[in-house]
Amino acid sequence: MYAREIKLSGHIIDSLMLPKTLDLIMDKGGDFKILDFEVGKHKKDVSHATIRVAADTESLLGEILDELSEIGALVVEIKEVQLLRSEKDKTLPPDFYSTTHHPTYIRFKDEWIPVEGIEMDCMIVVDPENKKAVCKPIGKIQKGELIVVGREGIKVVPPERPRGKKGVFEFMSSTASSEKPMKSTVKKIASEIKAIKHNNGKIAVVAGPAVVHTGSAPVLAKMIKEGIIDILFAGNALATHDIESALYGTSLGICVKSGEATVRGHKHHIYAINEINKAGSIKDAVEKGVLKKGIMYECIKNNVPYVLAGSIRDDGPLPDVITDTMDAQDEMRKYVQDVDMVIMISTMLHSIAVGNMIPSHVKSICVDINPATVTKLADRGSAQVVGVVTDVGAFLPMLYDELAG
Amino acid sequence: MYAREIKLSGHIIDSLMLPKTLDLIMDKGGDFKILDFEVGKHKKDVSHATIRVAADTESLLGEILDELSEIGALVVEIKEVQLLRSEKDKTLPPDFYSTTHHPTYIRFKDEWIPVEGIEMDCMIVVDPENKKAVCKPIGKIQKGELIVVGREGIKVVPPERPRGKKGVFEFMSSTASSEKPMKSTVKKIASEIKAIKHNNGKIAVVAGPAVVHTGSAPVLAKMIKEGIIDILFAGNALATHDIESALYGTSLGICVKSGEATVRGHKHHIYAINEINKAGSIKDAVEKGVLKKGIMYECIKNNVPYVLAGSIRDDGPLPDVITDTMDAQDEMRKYVQDVDMVIMISTMLHSIAVGNMIPSHVKSICVDINPATVTKLADRGSAQVVGVVTDVGAFLPMLYDELAG
Amino acid sequence: MYAREIKLSGHIIDSLMLPKTLDLIMDKGGDFKILDFEVGKHKKDVSHATIRVAADTESLLGEILDELSEIGALVVEIKEVQLLRSEKDKTLPPDFYSTTHHPTYIRFKDEWIPVEGIEMDCMIVVDPENKKAVCKPIGKIQKGELIVVGREGIKVVPPERPRGKKGVFEFMSSTASSEKPMKSTVKKIASEIKAIKHNNGKIAVVAGPAVVHTGSAPVLAKMIKEGIIDILFAGNALATHDIESALYGTSLGICVKSGEATVRGHKHHIYAINEINKAGSIKDAVEKGVLKKGIMYECIKNNVPYVLAGSIRDDGPLPDVITDTMDAQDEMRKYVQDVDMVIMISTMLHSIAVGNMIPSHVKSICVDINPATVTKLADRGSAQVVGVVTDVGAFLPMLYDELAG
Amino acid sequence: MYAREIKLSGHIIDSLMLPKTLDLIMDKGGDFKILDFEVGKHKKDVSHATIRVAADTESLLGEILDELSEIGALVVEIKEVQLLRSEKDKTLPPDFYSTTHHPTYIRFKDEWIPVEGIEMDCMIVVDPENKKAVCKPIGKIQKGELIVVGREGIKVVPPERPRGKKGVFEFMSSTASSEKPMKSTVKKIASEIKAIKHNNGKIAVVAGPAVVHTGSAPVLAKMIKEGIIDILFAGNALATHDIESALYGTSLGICVKSGEATVRGHKHHIYAINEINKAGSIKDAVEKGVLKKGIMYECIKNNVPYVLAGSIRDDGPLPDVITDTMDAQDEMRKYVQDVDMVIMISTMLHSIAVGNMIPSHVKSICVDINPATVTKLADRGSAQVVGVVTDVGAFLPMLYDELAG
């Protein structure tokens, strides 16, 4: 038998760190002995456990420890992090370490160094001279960079269950149902938003074109104007239909007010693109007085940055769209680490893209009428995702009323 | 070849009667010759066509004519309706005629007699002495009754496309999308409701428990109080959760206001049933001052009749619930023929039950967050069904605002 | 502060009993002190904890203890169960105890008596002379019966997490996704079925009409014939469409083989009901040689009992349908306590009805193409529900192949 | 009143050209007079109608004629097509004509010239010297090019209803239900595929990663190997998970055979990308013996071209992925005009992209478990789309069996 000791600290029972640890060992076919267990006797006390993990083979033990490290278990005998050089651009050394989205530290020269820009499914690149560690996706790895491999000297710190009553994010986390009273959910989200804005926190919105189709564009525009939204992530469709709506009152040719198809309306989104192409860019169109309202207009007027990422189904696209998806990702990376909350509305594609980039402490809300989309996002390991299965056309107005009221 | 002449009259081109006729003949493998075609040259003119339908066998011809009769084609040579007696309760003679939900007439003793209480998938029972024809479901057929068989002497009159711009029902009919601007749909429905109430028309609501779960019960209660709703069809669950909500502020133990689970809340619906059982009935509970608000309270207070139909999943049930489903259907039949509009909210079971009973001229709205439910109802042949895929918690408040505004 | 001691025993960490206990106390605003904690050091060892639960008011403490008892916590100082008489049929004394679906015992005259026929949301009725306790729904409570009230002397034993690797039910429990490889899920379900049949266990099927529409009726018929299925719960629609399919090859008029609409096909389900009405019952129709194949035929031929529960949307219904829903529930109750597995296919209504009746040790599989249905059933507190989001037309043939192979 | 004559020819009644024409005129508030109507008296005869369309304003008349031209109505007095030059790259002259996906001709120097490469929502660019007209998206318009504007001299030829019984595409067109017998639908699709392959036609597959997750990758690989599939459109996810599955037996870390999560499995897709990056490309990986099976392997081995279009949510991506979405569209355009059938499986994004590019005569099948996806694609105006709401893991094996059988 191969064995090793691990240590768990914190509210390890009710934050499920301990149960998950035992579960995982059993699931993988390993064995355990609890060597020491100091229970926090009162509500605010922390607990500590030392557990001897055993397995039949060294590789199985390694695998178990690897998984345990992701839920915050720390190998007792702390060793130095292991590093290997990449031998070619965009390639990784054997047994490379793939990141979680939780705060992560590496043991380098007897110090715990934080990993900067943490993001899921990325690698840790170490700059030994400056004692710095940064998170990088595989596509940005350069030949010769030092990559963290193996599992020694890596510490992951998942978020803990808050003491006392649960807040909206803890309360809701696993539930995404269309049968819950939406008003109360919206109320809680609104109060989180107010708290964040009160502390000068930043809120990102990831929005799909349904925001415009369902008639909620004016509400989102107002939220941008009033400083509630600090950054907008979207695609060509949201921007095009917003501009179409601002210029012609339609979205994909459907009149946003009456819901009726407009004569020759299906051409309106091409008209909209044409107008922006003539002006040069969305900003130019605003400055020339062509574009006078809407989501994109308020972004320009209020210096709210936006990233419009291209997709294979785009018409046009608008000149502001970043058609290279890797460039678009990089542009998004500039903003995500600073954000305190992300509201994702009716766009699985962009929501997953952003969801993969944001650290686990960022509060996320995923709004969609399709429960599968909400479940898919919540399943990606983001415990802090509040899923709301509802009509997009109802959510934003309700949220705005709650914020204003 | 066996052949027979049929006649089509009305706006037969744009109401699709003529195209459907030709389609059907070709689909079934028949042949046709257009003998005469008088086109209505102007918008308001009607057209007339005489078509010779042919088929290889007499039985195929019969089948084609049978199907054609359901879309309003009339066999030129009008014969007397054929009748046969039922030989046993709940059984039918061979080749019995199964009804549509369109207005239907039979040719009896050289007169066109209207069929009373028309309903889908039922039989026509004729009382020769009083020259009356009534629609009956198979379960109510009695031994010895005269049943319409074959296809001679039956005239079906499907609704026609209105001239001029289409109204909300024509406009929406085939579309049930969560990407349409809901506000405009709701506006149109509201204006139809106002028009119906202006003409002293009657509106039925078919409601599932999600109305309560999502917090919309007070809105529906107000609509009942204000005389907008004339009849309520529901089940034990809606009534129980409404009463639970009125008595304890929860629905299935979830606080309707805060959305949080209440301590011991899952027992509240049993408490609610217990209170009504103690009082005797919902009416008794209102009169004794036990029940003081909510949907059921307003029904009692405002003499709005309700039918609560039992289902296999019921807890309790409440004493007002009709546990025998056939008795419940009969109770529903007392009301449906007089209704001008039916609003079906979040209950596939009860909606299909009501949908099968209402004649085709009744305007129907089906609201559900699941597009499959909406599609299923629309597919049942009711061209006049407006499907709205949205959050129930958003629909009713929006509709009420529109009605009040 | 009001306080009381509770005791937890078993694999209380990884079966989540302990974490849930602490969670619950904190959620409700109570406080705790862990007085004693003996950790099971090895995988197979059990753990024991004694916890002092405190709250500001006596009623809050009561509520907390009440909830804790449902997850298996036992109040240390065991008192006698409290009983009160019902004062009227179908009514309950104040503070009655509402059951879970876990095995339950009451402390009566210094003995732990098991509650018979345990079922969710019911009451415990005690027969003091025979020292017997039975579970009864509110609708069956009779005046004068002794009902368990309060929370003293009640012991609930939720199922424990099995040691070692998880089986299919533990493995799947929380996941219901259309993106999982279905074949492996079906393989695991098949091996569970084989194990149950090997031990002469009983399997119930709850089936909706989609089984017939999607062409899987012959597979279900074969499973009944081969003794895999021991009891069938369904409604009028399943039986009618199965018989329609056996007699005419169609289901709701759609040819089950070709998928094409049959001429006059929508009448076929009425024809089918008519034939059975003429014969007298499904059994009579089989004996008279009218019905020669299909699901219902195999039930009759192989003495597999079935319960057909009526619903408000039924046409007909067939003479075998129990139109009174409370009578139908009683008929179902005769079978559910003996069953080892329930396979619920495409019928939310009947599945919830059965789901509410079955004790928590019964393995349940819920198959539906709509993820909301699967989630709804899994949410009803049955941890042992395996949700499979898939096409019904694909599931049964695959399962049969796996069972045969 | 402004008026103009139009002519309709063909099976204008049952192909709905005439009813749609009258409908449209009425919807837009115009008026009509049928001047001449020659009805095709027999099944195979064509009909002709001459209609005088009138409207209150010249612009309304223009709009009506514009819409009518899209359903195949031809203005009687044929004028030369109107052309205007683009004044700037990616911009269009006023009143530009936006294309349908039906075969289109322009009247240029008294000849009807076909528009090459027809695609929805694009522009017609005319080369007057060579008398050629090509379809171009707005993003590819260059300064100085001659663009078709207005509505004169444009003829659109929508597909006609075939005489006799309807085939699978006509039969299914409007229906996308999970309650239909899938087997018969699959059988019809299989027979269409056989007919296409018999005539050396080409079939494209658009596939999402669910094909791999659900275990159907080996089936798709076989279809490619056997020459059934001629071109593959997909994204980074499909290719990565296919390669992950080929190299490690998992898809997103889930073992495709057992359905269980593999230890450290969530890193496997990064491993897969790493291996291909090391090799250089998918082709290099096949040639070096790294990649030995799967969808991508068979594409390489059998010279089946593939287009992998990048998206904002991509990890990696693989070196073969075209990260610039506009470049990816261009690569797709090289293949779509030659294709006879497109099978779109579980990817709304790529399916809409391809759907927008294919001419209306291409037969399309859209398979998804979410009815909303299927409806959305069918709604985009492609009457020839067969929607199949089913489990992807069931569809491909069934289709392959049907093709092999």
A154 close contact with D: CB closer than 8 A: no
ipTM, 2 decimals?
0.88
Would you say residue C390 has pLDDT above 90?
Answer: no
User: Rounded distance, CA B66 to CA B86, Å?
Assistant: 21
User: Rounded distance, CA D59 to CA C199, Å?
Assistant: 80
User: Rounded distance, CA B363 to CA B376, Å?
Assistant: 17
Which residues in B lie closer than 8 A to residue C92 (C-beta atoms)? 270, 274
Residue A172 pLDDT: 41
For residue C367, give how far its alpha carbon lies from the nearest alpha carbon of chain D (Å): 12
Helix residue spans in B263-380 (DSSP H): 268-279, 282-287, 295-301, 325-336, 348-357, 371-379
Contact A26 C163 (CB under 8 A): yes
Would you say residue C160 has pLDDT above 80?
Answer: no
Percent of chain D topping pLDDT 70: 91
What is the fold of A81-163? 2.40.420
User: Rounded distance, CA D293 to CA D274, Å?
Assistant: 17
Residue A262 pLDDT level (bands cut at 50, 70, 90): low
Contact B138 C63 (CB under 8 A): no
Neighbours of D (≥3 Cβ pairs closer than 8 A)? A, B, C
Residue corresponding to tokens 């408490």: B271
E-assigned strands of D143-277?
A: 146-149, 154-156, 203-207, 231-235, 250-251, 254-255
Residue C124 pLDDT: 97
**Which residue on chain C is closest to A35 by alpha carbon?**
C41
Q: How far is CA D4 from the centre of its chain?
A: 34
Q: Considering the entire predicted model, what is its pTM?
A: 0.86
Cβ(C365)–Cβ(C373) below 8 Å: no
Residues A263-321 pLDDT 10s: 566 788 999 999 999 999 999 999 999 999 999 999 999 999 999 999 999 999 999 99
User: Rounded distance, CA D259 to CA D254, Å?
Assistant: 6
Q: What is the pLDDT of chain C when averaged over all its residues?
A: 87
Which residues in B lie closer than 8 A to residue D371 (C-beta atoms)? 371-372, 375
D392 close contact with C: CB closer than 8 A: yes
Helix residue spans in C144-199 (DSSP H): 168-172, 182-198
Contact B37 D39 (CB under 8 A): yes
Contact D14 B26 (CB under 8 A): yes
Which residues in B lie closer than 8 A to residue A168 (C-beta atoms)? none
Residues C183-228 pLDDT 10s: 778 888 999 999 999 999 999 999 999 999 888 999 999 999 999 9
SS3 A389: strand
Most confident by average pLDDT, A61-70, B6-15, B327-336, C157-166: B327-336
Cβ(B389)–Cβ(B371) below 8 Å: yes
User: Rounded distance, CA B360 to CA B358, Å?
Assistant: 6
Residue A174 pLDDT level (bands cut at 50, 70, 90): very low
User: Rounded distance, CA D360 to CA D366, Å?
Assistant: 15
Residue B235 pLDDT: 97
Q: Is CATH 3.30.70.2690 the right assignment for the domain spanning B1-77?
A: yes
For residues A104 and D387, the model is more confident at A104
Residues C112-154 pLDDT 10s: 999 999 998 899 999 999 999 999 999 999 999 999 998 889 9
**Which residue on chain C is closest to A15 by alpha carbon?**
C19
Where do the domains of chain C lie? 1-77, 78-161, 168-404
The Cβ-side half-sphere exposure at C227, using a 13 Å CA radius, reads 6
Residue C117 pLDDT: 93
Residue corresponding to tokens 């939900």: B101
B193: its two tokens: 């409701």
User: Rounded distance, CA B58 to CA B56, Å?
Assistant: 7
- The reply to whether omega before C319 is within 30° of 0 (cis) is no
- The reply to whether omega before D319 is within 30° of 0 (cis) is no
Q: Name the residue among B75, B88, B94 with its Cα closest to residue B155.
A: B75
Which of B252-266, C145-159, C304-318 has the least mean pLDDT? B252-266
Residue B173 pLDDT: 42
Residue B376 pLDDT: 75
Residue A145 pLDDT level (bands cut at 50, 70, 90): very high
Would you say residue C393 has pLDDT above 50?
Answer: yes
For residues B37 and D211, the model is more confident at D211
Q: From the CB of residue D119, how many other CB atoms can be counted at a distance below 10 Å? A: 19
Residues D300-349 pLDDT 10s: 999 999 999 999 999 999 999 999 999 999 999 999 989 999 999 999 89
- Indicate the CATH number for domain B78-162: 2.40.420.10
Q: Is there a common fold for C78-161 and C168-404?
A: no
Residue C183 pLDDT: 76
Q: Which residues, 6 or more positions from B144, have their beta carbon under 8 angstroms from its beta carbon?
A: B85, B86
D102: its two tokens: 């039906």
For residue A277, give how far its alpha carbon lies from the nearest alpha carbon of chain D (Å): 6
Contact D182 C393 (CB under 8 A): yes
Would you say residue A202 has pLDDT above 70?
Answer: yes
Which amino acid, B335? Y
What is the fold of D78-163? 2.40.420
User: Rounded distance, CA C12 to CA C19, Å?
Assistant: 8
Q: Which residues, 6 or more positions from B404, have their beta carbon under 8 angstroms from its beta carbon?
A: none
If you average pLDDT over residues C339-368, what whole number do you get? 90
Q: What is the pLDDT of chain B when averaged over all its residues?
A: 87
Burial class (CB in 10 A: 0-12, 13-18, 19+), D33: middle
SS3 B77: coil
Residue A147 pLDDT level (bands cut at 50, 70, 90): very high
Neighbours of C (≥3 Cβ pairs closer than 8 A)? A, B, D
Residue A263 pLDDT: 58
Distances (CA, A) of D236 to C361, C368, D270: 44, 30, 12
Angle at D252 between CA D249 and CA D256, to 5 degrees: 35
Cβ(C310)–Cβ(C238) below 8 Å: no
Burial class (CB in 10 A: 0-12, 13-18, 19+), A107: middle
SS3 B209: coil
Residues A6-60 pLDDT 10s: 999 888 887 778 888 888 888 788 888 888 888 877 777 888 899 999 999 988 8
SS3 B159: coil
Cβ(D121)–Cβ(D167) below 8 Å: no
Residues B362-379 pLDDT 10s: 888 999 888 778 877 766
User: Rounded distance, CA B23 to CA B18, Å?
Assistant: 9
Residue D171 pLDDT: 44
User: Rounded distance, CA C82 to CA C154, Å?
Assistant: 9
- The reply to whether omega before D209 is within 30° of 0 (cis) is no
Which residues in C lie closer than 8 A to residue D251 (C-beta atoms)? 181
Residue A173 pLDDT level (bands cut at 50, 70, 90): very low
Count Cβ–Cβ pairs < 8 Å, chain A vs chain C: 75
Residue B29 pLDDT level (bands cut at 50, 70, 90): confident
Do you know the residue count of chain C?
405
Residues D280-301 pLDDT 10s: 999 999 999 999 999 999 999 9
If you average pLDDT over residues D235-250, what whole number do you get? 94
Residues D195-225 as b or e (16 or more Cβ within 10 Å = b): ebbeeebbbbbbbbbbbbbbbbbbbbbbbbb
Q: Which residues, 6 or more positions from D129, have their beta carbon under 8 angstroms from its beta carbon?
A: none
Which of A253-262, B78-87, C91-100, D215-224 has the least mean pLDDT? A253-262
Residues D250-278 as b or e (16 or more Cβ within 10 Å = b): bbbbbbbebbbbbbbbbbbbbbbbbbbbb
Q: Are strands B341-345 and B363-368 parallel, antiparallel or unpaired?
A: parallel
- The reply to whether omega before B317 is within 30° of 0 (cis) is yes
For residue C24, give how far its alpha carbon lies from the nearest alpha carbon of chain B (Å): 10
Residue C246 pLDDT: 96
Residue B11 pLDDT level (bands cut at 50, 70, 90): confident
To the nearest 10 degrees (0 to 180), the angle between helices D392-404 and C182-198 is 90
Contact C28 B278 (CB under 8 A): no
Residues C249-275 pLDDT 10s: 888 777 777 666 665 667 889 999 999
* Interface residue of D313, D331, D354 to substitute, partner A, most A CBs within 10 Å: D313
User: Rounded distance, CA A60 to CA A293, Å?
Assistant: 60
- Indicate the CATH number for domain C78-161: 2.40.420.10
Domain B168-404, second-level architecture: 3-Layer(aba) Sandwich (3.40)
Residue B263 pLDDT level (bands cut at 50, 70, 90): low
Cβ(A231)–Cβ(B198) below 8 Å: no
Contact A98 D352 (CB under 8 A): no
